Amino acid sequence: MTERNKSLELFGKRLKELRTKSKVTQEKLAELVDLEQQQICRIEKGACFTTFDTLEKFSKSLKIPLPEFFNFSHQKKSDALLSELHELLQKASEDQIKLIYRIVNDILK
């Protein structure tokens, strides 16, 4: 799979995730952005991309800031997340670390 195809697939998954989180069907989104439902399906499957104008329409229709459509950090592997978390903790104050510890400890109990 090429980098372009990976990017299309990532974007499509993110669009679907944001759309479903907003409780909007493909049909409704297509109506809101003036596209065919099949085109929304193709975008979500990573078969094609779309125009900037349509991206702006997605953003307005779903009431989600445009940059959020390209936020893929939640899809990182746990090793990468742990590494980033470690870097963040190194910048934290002692009080922040204690607070973070209590929160994580409560979540994992």
Q: How far apart are the first and last CA of the chain?
A: 40
Yes or no: say if 62 and 99 are a contact pair by the CB < 8 Å rule. no
Identify the pLDDT of residue 84: 84
**Cβ-based neighbour number of residue 61 at 10 Å:** 18
User: 85 with 52, same domain?
Assistant: no
- Rounded-to-integer distance, Cα 107 and Cα 46, Å: 35
User: 47 with 68, same domain?
Assistant: yes
Using the predicted structure, report yes or no on whether residue 67 has a pLDDT greater than 70: yes
pTM exceeding the 0.75 threshold for the entire prediction: no
User: 45 with 95, same domain?
Assistant: no
pLDDT-based confidence at residue 76 (cuts at 50, 70, 90):
low
Identify the pLDDT of residue 74: 67
User: 92 with 58, same domain?
Assistant: no
Domain count, the chain: 2
User: 69 with 82, same domain?
Assistant: no
Identify the pLDDT of residue 22: 96
User: 66 with 99, same domain?
Assistant: no
Domain extent, residue 98, equals: 76-108
User: 17 with 51, same domain?
Assistant: yes
